[in-house]
Amino acid sequence: MKPRVFLFVPARDAHAWIGHTLLEMTIAMALGLIVTASAVSLYHSQRIAFTQSADTAQINDAAMTALTLIGEQLQMAGFVPADMPASFVSRPALFGCSGGRPVGADDTLTCESLATHSDGVAVRYVADGVSTWLSTAGLATDCLGQGVTKADADAPGVAIVNRFYAKTSGATGEPELYCEGSGKANSSQPLVEGVERVRLRYWLTGGTSAVDAAALAPAQWASVVAVDVCVLVRGAPQTAPTRYVDCDGVSTIGSDARVRRAFWRRVAIRNSEVSTT
């Protein structure tokens, strides 16, 4: 019988089954923390960039909407349908206030100061079914889409007075552009949120610079041929106060952490007596 041969295989070192060393684990954890921190930082920076981009877009949209609404109404100032005599409008096409809003009856407007120091303007024109959208009742409408009843049932048009200004909403605490139309007296409604201030300057025929409403005598309103409109719009709260240029061209740092931007537009008064002569 052949002898049996036994091979002795030494057992593996018990320490070989423990796995990674403490140093290797420390390095792996450090690398994991670095990767995690980088990912969190990237997400945070991307989130801030997205928020700022969305806020900028909202500010731009609000400004463009406000300038369009005010500009379209200013272009209507003094308008009278072709089948009506211009004498149908006995008052000037425009009436403005510096740091306040127009109040009172449409024919006897005065100014009331605003805490926002926003300028206000009242725009007069004659509306009909062509110059405005008709209401469901077939009436010409004001800046809020409200139907305006004719004072004279036989007249082909109806006198409209729309008043624009910016103030802080009592419901939301946010500044908004407001309009009050002839359809319902003493009942203003917000149109655009975020509009903190409206600044208006007026160009007179032959003038070399625009002037504030407070500098105009009552008889000079009929000589206004253009209006410089500026709206100051603020956005959502950010991380730190930012610098901006206001409607007077002054560089300012906001007292809060909101971004602000001013937007300008010049509007010609196409229907003024001066521009049509």
Q: What DSSP string describes 139-204?
A: -BB-TTS-B---SSTTSSSEEEEEEEEEEE-TTT--EEEEEE-TTSTT--EEEEETEEEEEEEEEE
For residues 8 and 44, give the distance between their C-alpha atoms in angstroms, rounded to a whole number. 61
pLDDT digits (tens, 9 = 90+) for 150-173: 776 666 678 899 999 999 998 888
Q: Give per-residue pLDDT as tens, 119-152.
A: 999 999 988 777 788 888 888 889 998 988 877 6
Whether the pLDDT of residue 276 is over 50: the answer is: no
Distance (Å, whole) CA 178 – CA 164: 6
pTM of the predicted structure, to 2 decimals: 0.78
User: In Å, what is the CA distance from 73 to each residue of 13, 44, 146, 242?
Assistant: 91, 44, 15, 33
- pLDDT for the residue 88: 56
Q: How many CB atoms lie within 10 A of CB 271?
A: 18
| Tens digit of each residue's pLDDT (9 = 90 or more) over 78-99 | 988 877 765 556 678 999 999 9
Is there a contact between 193 and 171 (Cβ–Cβ < 8 Å)?
no
Q: What is the pLDDT of residue 277?
A: 46
For the stretch 224-262, pLDDT in tens is 999 999 999 998 887 778 889 999 999 988 888 889 999
Residue 243 to residue 250: CA distance in whole angstroms: 10
